[in-house]
Amino acid sequence: MSGESNSKNTQTIPLSEDSDYYDEELEEYNSVFSTETYPIDDYEPNKFRLSDITNKIKIQSSSFLKSYNKIRLEPLPPLEKFFSSLNEELLIKKIEQCQVMFDFSNPIFDLNGKEVKRTTLKELSDFTHASYYNYYTPPVYEAFFKMFEENLFRIFPSFVDIENEIDDEEFYFEISWPHISIVYEIFENILCSTHFDPTFAMPYVNESFLINIIELFNTKDKRERNYLTNILHSLYSKFFNMRTYLRECIGVVFY
């Protein structure tokens, strides 16, 4: 692949002379491109000036398998802490809102929609972490796993032609991290919940799903790989029927 093609997939962000960011690599590593969506009054992500970010930070652009939706998101009422058919319906609507994808390569594209999705994802993360009641019904399982597939399964840019130029100290950041980081939180919460029943999730955690999870380890974003490691361990411990297949896949991919 030509150098021109690679330059489109990976953006190197220069460092200004007066920048104070990233003196301590590991501390600052986790703060850039946090889960906050681009603020309405600033076209730069998370109030960082792009010119102030060290040239050892690279943004990983991802080509999603689906096209970006043109749906206009509107805030929904908050979830209740007790079970009801209306609350289940509201929960599913919120999950479906979070299946809508946004173009993070354009910082000013639909800022309102990005923020609605981020706040909804955060509410779902808090809700699944608290586990107020057993909200896991077949429609809820289906909605959640579709949300995982829509947000996480994507094609990464090729790094083959530039791997020899990559310094071990260089970091890559997933451009859509403000949303998918919270999706990973929700995924972990669900797998670790005492209410989680693998039997109801089996229709969705199949061989194709597991292959897609393992392929996500191709990400250059270390934060994402950390989430994936935890999720893979949880899947291995929860789905006994898939353990042999998982071991085979891991052996082929990683060894």
**DSSP conformation class of 17:** T
The CATH number that applies at residue 88 is: 1.25.10.10
Distance in angstroms (rounded) separating the CA atoms of residues 48 and 42: 9
Residues 132, 137, 139, CA angle at the centre, nearest 5°?
125
Contact 224, 60 (CB under 8 A): no
Is residue 1 one of the residues assigned to a domain? no
Strands 171-174, 57-60: pairing kind: parallel
Q: How many CB atoms are located within 10 Å of the residue 189 CB?
A: 18
Is residue 121 one of the residues assigned to a domain? yes
* pLDDT tens profile 35-86: 444 444 433 344 334 344 444 555 665 655 455 657 789 999 999 988 888 9
Contact 113, 159 (CB under 8 A): no
Strands (E), the chain: 10-12, 57-60, 63-64, 154-155, 171-174
pLDDT at 186: 98
Is residue 160 one of the residues assigned to a domain? no
Which of 17-26, 154-163, 233-242, 243-252 shows the lowest mean pLDDT across its residues?
Answer: 17-26
Which residue range(s) make up the domain with 85?
76-155+173-254
Is residue 28 one of the residues assigned to a domain? no
Is residue 104 one of the residues assigned to a domain? yes
Is residue 5 one of the residues assigned to a domain? no
Contact 249, 210 (CB under 8 A): yes
pLDDT at 99: 97
Distance in angstroms (rounded) separating the CA atoms of residues 128 and 79: 11
Is residue 224 one of the residues assigned to a domain? yes
Distance in angstroms (rounded) separating the CA atoms of residues 66 and 179: 16
- How many separate domains does the chain show? 1
**DSSP conformation class of 52:** B
Q: Phi first, then psi: give them for residue 111, nearest 5 degrees.
A: -60, -35
Taking 70 as the threshold, does the pLDDT of residue 147 lie above it? yes
